[in-house]
Structures are given as structure tokens and as C-alpha cells.
Chains A and B, each alone.
Chain A
């Protein structure tokens, strides 16, 4: 079976970086079109109208939709039968090179700095940067590369809840987080809100982030309890009375995505993440014969990824 050349991965990753920074994903755009139609607040509606126009300018001019191009990172899904020339070390080198090249070429804002000295290499590459997360998929010989560009200062929180807090506790924490980040529009809402429930602390943080960034608007969690919670949380968030930029309004949440992990019997850790008005992601599937298919849906949460059985 053919090995995927690392040069193809690098070339694809560069292209993904540009697409993510410039072109708003269609599922999110449609969500904002619907939110704007429902929005009753005059100022909030004005904001959404301007955002829709901004995305058209970005695509027409091939310039980034937002100057805070976030912390570019990668999610790689490896087909169980896929192989890369030079192995996964070559893949990681390709992704780091693509990040530095795309930062200069698009250009992206070089956001990544040393956390203490604040020195900026101007490449978006550094210690543990960009993050590369992996998952595997059985019966596949391709590699999916997804890049996500997400800002990260506001709108995310984690909390240890307990079984006695129940679903009402999740709802309360959800509203707390949305109100806190929603005033003045610090969280750049209306957002795709990812909610990670369960696992260990870091598991719920990871799942909440992936739920926000790697599921498309309109998708549902296959677990009926999670799917019901998604709908309830969306309605709750849009009923707070906060719209875009923290003006009075109805558009706070474009979609809520809940992801679950089996957790400690005594606890219920919950993480909330808001993917902003520049919800930037792009995915490409690289086949061993050299074909690259670009698509809007990362398809990160597969049945295998969410598996619960022993085998």
C-alpha cells in the first residue's frame, strides 16, 4: 500500500490554514443568517448584518476574516491502515512548517509568544505549539487533517459539579458562563457552544473544545439524553436576553454541542467552550494515491471515537 508523502501533508496543511482563516464554514454562516432573521434587538441585528458582509469581503479579497487568527492547531485522524513517508515524526514536522509558512504568507497574526518573556518568534510555532491531537479510524487508509483557529481569552470555563447538581447544575453553569462572557460581547457571540460533561477534568475540557470546534451546526449527539440537553441549552442561552456584542437580544447561541465521557462516580466535571463569530476550521482528507478532498465537516466524532464497549 502507498505511503502518503509528508510534502503532500505540508502542502495540504498550508491550504487548510488559508481556508480556515479566510472562509467562514457554511454551516455556521447559515446559523448566523437564521439568528439574524430572529433577532429583535436593533444593535445586535446590525452586528450580525456587518458580520455577514465581513465574511463576503474576506472570501472576495482572500484576507483573514478576523485579525485575531487565534492559536492555530491541528486535529489529525489517522486511518488504521494509513502510513506516512517518514512516519508520524515527518507528519508533525510538516504541520509545524506549514504553520510557520502560512503565518507569513496569508498572513496570520503571530499570536504565539513565550508565556513569561512574551518573546514572539513571529511564526505561531513554539513549545507545544501548534498542538496536534490524534484520533484513529478503523478500516481506513487516509489521513484527515483539520485545522482550527480559535481565539481563547474569554468565554470558556470549567467547573467540578457533583451528581446531586444534576442537569439543573449543568444548566446553571452554562448560563453563568454565557452571562459572564456575553456582556460587552467579550466571548464574540453568538457562538457554537461546546459542553464537555464527565471524564477527568482534562477530558471534559478537551471534549468541550472539540464539541465547539469540530462538530458542524445542525449535528446532534447520538445519545438521546445528550441530544435533548443540546436543545434545552440552546433555548436557555437564547432566552437570557443577550445578543451579539452584549446588546439586548436573542442571538447568544448558534448551536450547543454536548459530548460525554464516563466519569468518576462521585463527580460531574463540566467544561463550556464558545467558538466565536469567526468559527474557523477546515478539513482535508489525504489519500495514499495523492488525492486531497476538502470539506467543511471535520467528522471528528465518529462512532468509533465515541465507542463505549470493551472491544
Chain B
């Protein structure tokens, strides 16, 4: 059944293993509840600046290790003995990285982005679908402890000195990390787009008794159904 409204979402539970094969990605439906086992790595603007903007090489072997990129900075530290403590992981808002994604998919071979708050359907169509990539959103937001508990070990960390703990590329072995929700499917459809349509339908009623302020703001978004992302 085609998912046209939030009520159509079945929230089926799906377990994925990395590297996630294309056939598993095509089967994901909007709103499915996803858990991942295997290896994933963190990468956000610091990594994209190096790889996409400056053209520096990826850490060797990364593409073979995993095709899951978590838009995340961990709550982590380097212990005095040189080992790593990664206790909590949550995502950061992904819309900011949209422009880097197509080049990133080409360079990294990533097929799954795990992040916060998704991108627009247009971004999925232009940047994700041509590379066979899907988007999973974290839940909450802020299941830091829940996700952190699923980390089995830190396999490596790259560019720690150059980027710092928050922006470094952390390679994590995980066991059933989740729940995540399918936000952008293989066809480029978005769960948040469905939600926004339902919210927008009510907004005129909500604003009925709320007059606009005396002084507007320059460049103000005045179409209420528009988003700021």
C-alpha cells in the first residue's frame, strides 16, 4: 500500500547489517523502525570540508568497511592510556550538509545517511536517489544513551588532531543500534514531508486570532507553509 498520510505508516521493525545491500535499501518504507548492526562511521562538516571541498583522500579502507555515515559527534574522550571512551551518540541536523552529499556519495560509496531532521524531498531526488542512498532519522531527538549502549567498540578515529573530538571521523562497531526511522526512501519520498502537509493544513486555523506585528522583519518568511531549511 502506498504511504500517502502519516496514518498509513506501519512502523515495521527492520534489522540491517552493514555494508547494507541495495536490495535491503529498496525495501525500506517510510516510518519503518530500523536497527543496524556492523560498522558505521561519523562524518559531518569537518570531514566534508576535507574530502569534498579540499579533495583530500578518505581514510584507506573506509569504503570497504561500511556504507553507513552517521551525521554525528560523539560525547567522547581519549583516555590517558590512549584508548577511547564513546558513551553517547546523537545526530546533528543534516540539512546543513545537503550541498556536500552528492560529491560525498561519489567519493565514499555511502548508501545510508543517519542524521537528524532529514532533508527536503527535492534534496533526496537530486542528491540521494541518483546514488541509491536513503536517509534514516534518529529518534527524539536525543537517544544518546540508547544509541551509545549499542556501541561495541571504537575501531578507529581519523583526523582527531586536525578536527578535534567533535568533528573527527569515528569508526564504530555497533550491535543493533537504533531505533531509527526511515525518513527518505529509495524513491526520494520523505516522512517529514508527509508530516508537514498535515501540520500545514491546520495552520490557518491556528493563526486566525493572531494578528501580524506592527513592524515586519526584512526578508521575513511570510508563507507559513514554507520551511526555513
| B side interface size, CB within 8 A | 63
Chain A nearest CB: distance from B42 CB in Å? 10
B92 at interface, CB cutoff 8 A: yes
A172–B215 Cα distance when bound, in Å, is 13
Do A184 and B75 have beta carbons less than 8 Å apart?
no
Among A69, A168, A278, the one with the most B-chain Cβ atoms within 10 Å of its Cβ is: A278
Do B11 and A106 have beta carbons less than 8 Å apart?
no
Do B141 and A179 have beta carbons less than 8 Å apart?
no
Q: Mark A30-57, 1 if CB is under 8 A from B, else 0.
A: 0000000000011100110011011101
A41–B145 Cα distance when bound, in Å, is 24
- Closest residue of A by beta carbon distance from B90: A67
A61 at interface, CB cutoff 8 A: yes
- Closest residue of A by beta carbon distance from B76: A107
Q: Mark B152-168, 1 if CB is under 8 A from A, else 0.
A: 00000000000111110
**Which residue in B140, B142, B181, B192 is a CB contact (below 8 Å) of A183?**
B192
**Which residue in B72, B85, B117, B179 is a CB contact (below 8 Å) of A67?**
B72
Do A46 and B11 have beta carbons less than 8 Å apart?
yes
Do A65 and B203 have beta carbons less than 8 Å apart?
no
Q: Mark A100-122, 1 if CB is under 8 A from B, else 0.
A: 00011111111101000011101
Chain B nearest CB: distance from A210 CB in Å? 22
A17–B198 Cα distance when bound, in Å, is 40
Do A63 and B77 have beta carbons less than 8 Å apart?
no
The residues of B that contact A57 with a CB separation of less than 8 Å are 145-146, 149
The residues of A that contact B145 with a CB separation of less than 8 Å are 54-55, 57-58, 61, 63-66
**Which residue in A63, A168, A248 is a CB contact (below 8 Å) of B209?**
A168
A48–B139 Cα distance when bound, in Å, is 9
Do B75 and A109 have beta carbons less than 8 Å apart?
yes
Q: Which of A170-221 contact B (CB under 8 A)?
A: 171-173, 175, 179-180, 182-186, 188
**Which residue in A43, A68, A122, A242 is a CB contact (below 8 Å) of B164?**
A122
The residues of A that contact B166 with a CB separation of less than 8 Å are 109-111, 113, 120
A190–B64 Cα distance when bound, in Å, is 40
The residues of B that contact A310 with a CB separation of less than 8 Å are none
Chain A nearest CB: distance from B40 CB in Å? 14
**Which residue in A172, A182, A244 is a CB contact (below 8 Å) of B211?**
A172
| A side interface size, CB within 8 A | 69
Do A122 and B165 have beta carbons less than 8 Å apart?
yes
The residues of B that contact A58 with a CB separation of less than 8 Å are 88, 144-145
A182–B200 Cα distance when bound, in Å, is 12
A54–B215 Cα distance when bound, in Å, is 43
B9 at interface, CB cutoff 8 A: yes
The residues of B that contact A89 with a CB separation of less than 8 Å are none
Contact status of A184 and B118, CB under 8 A, knowing A42-B11, A64-B88, A119-B164: yes
Q: List 12 other contacts, CB 8 Å, given A66-B143, A169-B214, A184-B196.
A: A42-B6, A66-B88, A69-B88, A109-B74, A109-B165, A110-B164, A153-B93, A168-B209, A179-B203, A239-B206, A241-B206, A247-B6
8 tightest A-B CB contacts, nearest first: A120-B164, A107-B77, A58-B145, A66-B142, A172-B210, A184-B117, A63-B87, A66-B144
Q: List 23 A-B contacts (CB under 8 A).
A: A42-B7, A42-B11, A43-B31, A47-B140, A50-B146, A50-B179, A61-B87, A63-B75, A64-B88, A105-B77, A165-B211, A171-B210, A179-B199, A184-B227, A185-B141, A239-B206, A240-B199, A241-B202, A245-B140, A246-B117, A246-B196, A246-B199, A277-B142
